[in-house]
Amino acid sequence: MRALVMMDSFKGSLTSTQANKIIAAVLKKKKIKATTVAVSDGGDGFLEAMTDVLHLANKSILVKDPLFRDRIAQYGYDSDNKTAYIELAQAAGLHLLALEERNPLAATSYGVGQLISDAIDMGCTKIVLGIGGSATHDCGSGMLEAMGLRFFDQNDKILYGMNGKKLKEVVRINDTEFRKKIKDIEFLTLCDVKNALLGPEGAAYTFAKQKGATQAMVHELEENSEHFCYVANSMKLAYPMIPGSGAAGGVGFACQFFMKAKLTSGIDYILDYLHFDKLILDTDLLVTGEGKIDQQSVFGKAPFGIYKRRKNKKVVMICGVLELSPENYKDIAFFSIVPTIASLAESLEKPDESLKRCCEKINFEKIG
């Protein structure tokens, strides 16, 4: 039997490459030939996946994290094609914050703009930006601020340190320096969700709570985002309602409206790069998964992106936590670490051991 292992990361505990290696080692013991490929849907692990696929050079720079603290972040670049590959989560990822620090009203995407600016200064003319896994809901205003866009309040004073709270203070925008910086730059944005920015299924009501928002904060974020869209004169253009505009707390909106970026599925982009449809021809079994599989996973996350392109191959999904009804996907064999192999706390403390034990109990031969 031949297995293709394409695990996404387990946020905060295992990278795609680490998870792949653990599973491949177990498969080898079971006399199953395994090929591993790092993947990402644009969120955590995107830089790792693209570096693995394209053999990119990586550059480290000092940026601001979601709470304006200094941290070192990386991006990858292909000097021959003058293309930079930037992972939002490197600078504005939810995993960078402790549980008690999460607050989408206070969090900023400023560090993402610093990464983009540095890549442009390096001579890159194309920016490929993966925007999953954010801690923010600032409509990309922090990112735009770092790239030279200027926001003014009712007293015509420049607003600094843009975040979800300050969106409501914006009454005027000046894009003169910003336009100079991004002139002749091509932007491609990879996202893992299709949600619009506003509305009951928009960014605030769907994702803000997992970023630390209370119900009152969710309403405030929605109102602030709507105000920001009016000021940007974009409401009549329907940008806030375009699928993907709600990705990363509105970074998708900023990319579409201000940067004229094309938005596309992160996992499909990577699978196309890998020539996935040819890659699976000699494969009997697809093994994929991520830290948590739930209803959100169905809409653009890596495991289901792989599943949708499986053709007639058998699929195994391995995760830390399963919050999806397996009976709705009878052609997928689901296996979760919690609670059968370990408790949630144990799985986070010893993720490699927990994943190994889970895989050892799976009868891959029977599934394939």
Tell whether 230 and 320 lie within a shared domain: no
Task: Report the C-alpha gap between 347 and 234 in whole angstroms.
Answer: 45
Where among 247, 267, 287 does a domain terminate? 267
How many Cα atoms sit within 13 Å of 57 on the Cβ side? 11
Q: What pLDDT score does 134 carry?
A: 96
For residue 241, count CB atoms less than 10 angstroms from its CB and return exposed for 0-12, middle for 13-18, buried for 19 or more. Answer: middle
Q: The domain spanning residue 325 has which CATH number?
A: 3.40.50
197 and 54 part of one domain: yes
Q: pLDDT below 70 — which residues of the chain?
A: 235-237
What single-letter amino acid sits at 27?
A: L
pLDDT of residue 235: 62
Q: What is the DSSP letter of 10?
A: B
Task: Answer yes or no: do 322 and 259 share one domain.
Answer: no
Q: How many CB atoms lie within 10 A of CB 286?
A: 24
Q: Within 10 Å of residue 97's Cβ, how many Cβ atoms?
A: 20
For residue 66, is the peptide bond before it cis, meaning its omega torsion is within 30 degrees of 0? Answer: no
Q: Indicate whether 20 belongs to any domain.
A: no
58 and 188, same domain (yes or no): yes
Say whether both 232 and 305 belong to one domain.
no
Same structural domain, 33 and 112: no
One domain for residues 98 and 170: yes
Question: Is residue 273 included in any domain, yes or no?
Answer: no
Residue 235's domain comprises: 46-267
Q: What is the Cα–Cα distance from 43 to 132, expressed in whole angstroms?
A: 4
Q: How many domains does the chain have?
A: 2
Q: From 56, 51, 48, select the one nearest 14 (Cα to Cα).
A: 48
pLDDT at 239: 81
Instruction: With CA atoms as reference, report the closest residue to 4 among 270, 277, 288, 298.
Output: 288
Neighbours of 164 (CB within 10 A): 31
**Which CATH number goes with the domain that contains 246?**
3.90.1510.10
The model's pLDDT over 336-356, given as tens digits with 9 standing for 90+, comes to: 999 999 999 999 999 999 999
pLDDT at 52: 86
Rounded-to-integer distance, Cα 323 and Cα 336, Å: 10
Q: Which of 145, 26, 136, 150 is nearest to 89 (CA)?
A: 136
pLDDT at residue 139, as a whole number: 98
Task: Give the chain's largest Cα–Cα span.
Answer: 70
How far, in Å, are 6, 57, 70, 117, 269 from residue 80 at the CA level? Answer: 28, 11, 31, 19, 20
Same domain (yes/no): 130, 64: yes
Rounded to an integer, what distance in angstroms lies between the CA atom of residue 149 and that of residue 141?
8
**Calculated CA dihedral for residues 3, 8, 12, 14, nearest 10 degrees:** 20
Same domain, 118 and 261: yes
Q: Which of 267, 290, 320 is the last residue of a domain?
A: 267
Q: What is the pLDDT of residues 154-195, one digit of tens each?
A: 999 999 999 999 999 999 999 999 999 999 999 999 998 889
**Statement to judge: residues 123 and 198 lie in one domain:** yes
**223 and 344 inside one domain:** no
